[in-house]
Structure 1
Amino acid sequence: MTAVPDIRPRADTRSWYRRNEIAITPWLFLAPGLLFFAFYVIFPIFQSFQVSFYDWDGLGDLTEQGRFIGLDNYRELAGDRNFEISLWNNLKWLLLYLLAIPMGLGIALFLNQTVTGIRLYKSLFFFPFVISQVVVGLVFSWFYLPDVGLLNVMLGWFGLSINILGSPDTATYGIIAAGLWPQTAYCMILYLTGLNAVDPEQIEAARLDGAKGPKMLWYVILPQLKPATFIAFVVTIIGALRSFDLVSIMTNGGPFGSTRVLSFYMFEKALAEFGFRMGYGAAIAVVLFLIMLVFIAYFLWSMWRDERAAR
């Protein structure tokens, strides 16, 4: 009599980790980074929300030394003239800072060529990106000096003179121009990297179809640069909204508080002024965070929508 083989599935005697090793291993590598991100980014964000509901000088325990005042800090912001000026200055930064993206693209297209000395040109355009914001602020402060600054020396050839950082009408734009110098270099680097990944077969096919110049750029090259453009937009917007270094170095918020931005005004209220209004500074930080969140969420949604439509 022939024995019937046992075809019942055998119980898996491996440990739970062995059975799920492929799914778990990536998370083990990500765990240290996620813990640092949660501790140094996510937790402080929620802590800022909490502090914004208190009248607290930053000394002692928040719940013991601070006084819970609810939304009073936000109500005060609504009528604060200095907050309004800071907000409008941030909007100016946001709109004008975005010029770094097309300028960076234009420089990247120029540098993406095989001509004599192109490595030297790339190094010169890359140089502003590796300079500290403090150094950039000092260099442009000297450049804008009313009497001996290079700008006024050149304007003097035509009988002109301007005190950019000394006038409330021009100081903010002078600081933005200083910030555009390294930001343009950063966008240039992103686009140079993106241009190296452009499909040459699509370029050649477009040329055979008669596409060249602006049409080649708009219909063939730019669609392949969407990832670089997305990163450039996000980084540029964040840089515009947290523009603290240059304001602090070049004008310290002056003249007459005309160059304040939200990040600098937050620092003034929380740490620089007598009294240390940590709760009020946290409320400003929350407003700044929500503005950033709106822009970043919009770009993430737009990118997700485009990728879904391409499937």
Structure 2
Amino acid sequence: MQAYLKANQRRLAPWLFLAPGALFFVVYVIAPIFQSMAISFYDWDGLGEAVWIGLDNYVELVDDEAFYVSLKNNVLWLALYMLAVPAGLLIAIFLNQTVWGIRAYKSLFFFPFVISQVVVGLMFSWFYAPNFGLLYAIIEAITGQGVAILAEERFVTYGIIAAGLWPQIAYVMILYLTGLNNVAPDQIEAARLDGAKGWKMLWYVILPQLRPATFIAVVVTVIGALRSFDLVSIMTTGGPFGSSRVLSFYMYEQALSEYGYRMGYGAAIAVVLFAIMMVFITGFIWKMWRDEKDH
């Protein structure tokens, strides 16, 4: 055994370093996924005896209006959250310039990333607040009547998404700044000699080299949009009248809040959310792999 380890230590060393992280990933990520799938087939309050009910939880979802409201809001989150990718790219390109005061600009744009979602939620709640909120005062000054964003069913989801986009754009910006540091200068110079500039330089020279950063940015943005629990919980707790619920918050309401304690039903919602997430991420991975293969 000792002779085998000595002869293969270079081949085994990476696996030994990966083993602790892989173990934690299996125990705390992979295993809970399969446990949630198993629980979704039971009627269980989290404490008593679990009763097997098969697909009844999923059948109930089909006729659950609150589930469809949450699903619609998640689709809206996903569509609008993707704005973080081009916005983060444009800001990263701006901050990658060597101009006076660029460090101060970087600090300002980096700030949203380092504060917690709780603080972001509170700040935007005050920003939208009736009577004393800045946005309310601006709308009132322009139109003569203020709008309570978080109390209006038509606007509440858009208001929460705007709050979430602020730190998400900062996160994407950091990913692209890192990617821009790895762009090959010789390719930039060659493109300039060929007369490329502006959008042509960006589309044909810079963006192809930013594919790894784009992949990570899209994946984390999709995940962030679909697991949008904290801001909803802090800013509206799903209101008004459940109109700002998303799937992750509805799952919490059903499984762990005083309104539910239905662990099986909450697990069924979690499985649906996980399936949606995997469809988007798998599709994007497939597209990236196919593009790399073509090149």
TM-score by length of 1: 0.92
Q: Tell me which residue corresponds to 2:99.
A: 115
Aligned counterpart in structure 1 of residue 205 of structure 2, from 196, 220, 228: 220
Aligned counterpart in structure 2 of residue 106 of structure 1, from 72, 90, 110: 90
Q: Could you tell me whether the CA contact under 8 Å between 2:152 and 2:240 is conserved in 1?
A: yes
Identity of aligned residues (%): 70
Q: Which has the larger radius of gyration?
A: 1
| Pair 108,177 (structure 1): closer, same or farther in 2 beyond 3 Å | same
Q: Tell me which residue corresponds to 1:238.
A: 223
| Secondary structure at 2:151 match in 1 | coil
Q: Tell me which residue corresponds to 1:47.
A: 35
Q: Aligned ranges for residues 53-202 of structure 1 at < 5 Å?
A: 53-60=41-48, 65-158=49-142, 159-202=144-187
C-alpha deviation, 1:302, in angstroms:
1.9
Q: Could you tell me whether the CA contact under 8 Å between 2:140 and 2:147 is conserved in 1?
A: no
The answer for unaligned runs of 5 or more in structure 2 is: none
C-alpha deviation, 1:28, in angstroms:
0.9
C-alpha deviation, 1:275, in angstroms:
4.8
Q: Tell me whether 160-169 or 117-126 shows the greater mean CA deviation.
A: 160-169
| Pair 271,14 (structure 1): closer, same or farther in 2 beyond 3 Å | closer
Q: Tell me whether 13-22 or 229-238 shows the greater mean CA deviation.
A: 13-22
The answer for unaligned runs of 5 or more in structure 1 is: 1-12
Runs of 4+ in 1 over 3 A off after TM superposition: none
User: C-alpha separation between the residues in 1 aligned to 2:231 and 2:105?
Assistant: 26
Q: Aligned ranges for residues 17-36 of structure 1 at < 5 Å?
A: 17-36=5-24
Q: Tell me whether 226-235 or 15-24 shows the greater mean CA deviation.
A: 15-24
Post-superposition CA distance 1:104-139 (Å, at most 9, x none)? 111111111111110000000000001100000000
Aligned counterpart in structure 1 of residue 245 of structure 2, from 240, 244, 260: 260
User: C-alpha separation between the residues in 1 aligned to 2:56 and 2:230?
Assistant: 29
User: C-alpha separation between the residues in 2 aligned to 1:14 and 1:39?
Assistant: 30
User: C-alpha separation between the residues in 1 aligned to 2:2 and 2:73?
Assistant: 62
User: C-alpha separation between the residues in 2 aligned to 1:160 and 1:232?
Assistant: 39
Aligned residues: 294
C-alpha deviation, 1:73, in angstroms:
0.2
Question: In the alignment, residue 84 of structure 2 is paired with which amino acid?
Answer: A
TM-score by length of 2: 0.97
C-alpha deviation, 1:210, in angstroms:
1.2
C-alpha deviation, 1:18, in angstroms:
2.3
C-alpha deviation, 1:57, in angstroms:
0.4
Question: In the alignment, residue 234 of structure 2 is paired with which amino acid?
Answer: I
